[in-house]
Amino acid sequence: MLDTPEDEVSREAAVDYVDMTVDIVSAYVSNNSVRPTDLGELITSVHQTLKGLSGPGTAAADEVEKPSPAQIMKSITPDALISFEDSKPYKTLRRHLSLRGLSAEAYRAKYGLPVDYPMTCTSYSAQRSELARSLGLGSYRKAAAKSAGPDETASEAPKRRGRKPKAA
């Protein structure tokens, strides 16, 4: 029988799976204790997993349905932002996305959101801003120095530092 190019490609792919399986199993066995009876099952499961990774199912799982502009506008409310990951409301998406292993930029790219899509809801941002103002954050130090009384600013003669001179 003559070998067709397709047969050669499938053999090369099968050999690659076997080589990868051998590498993975040998690394696992060298670092972990495995009973001899479980070794066959381990090799089979690793080989099947490697075969399954190259199947057409992985490409379909990576595709995500992009939300429409109406859905994007509906997801932004004053009290919460609706996540496209699990459709739950959140005050801030950054914490939620970091738990899922996404950054804000990756989330926007995954769902085709605009660059200016907010990551915190407006009411939460206003609440945090008011808290910062009440604590005096962001104000200049000069304003604090002017509010201090003249007797609190500085004394007339600076004190000498260091050791006292020896008496002659």
User: Quick one: what percent of the chain has pLDDT higher than 90?
Assistant: 44
Tell me the per-residue pLDDT of 42-59, one tens digit each, with 9 for 90 and over: 899 888 888 887 766 544
Closest CA to 95 of 76, 120, 78: 120
Position 156 scores a pLDDT of 67
Count the alpha carbons within 13 Å of 122 in the hemisphere toward its beta carbon.
5
> What own/partner pairs with CB < 8 Å and gap ≥ 24 does 80-89 have?
80/121, 81/118, 81/119, 81/120, 81/121, 84/111
- Nearest-angstrom CA–CA distance, 10 and 18: 12
Stretch 125-151: mean pLDDT, rounded?
A: 77
10 residue type, one letter: S
What pLDDT is attached to residue 38? 87
Percent of the chain with pLDDT over 70: 75
pLDDT higher than threshold 60 for residue 1: no
* 147, pLDDT greater than 90: no
The CATH number of the domain covering residues in 69-122: 1.10.10.1550
Mean of pLDDT values over 126-137: 92
Query: What are the sequence ranges of the domains in the chain?
Result: 11-51, 69-122
pLDDT at 84 over 70: yes
pLDDT-derived band at 162, boundaries 50, 70, 90: confident
Q: In Å, how far are 29, 33, 47, 66 from 39, measured between CA atoms? A: 9, 10, 12, 44
- Closest by CA to 90, choosing from 101, 75, 102, 105, is 75
Mean pLDDT, range 81-91, rounded to an integer = 93
pTM, two decimal places:
0.48
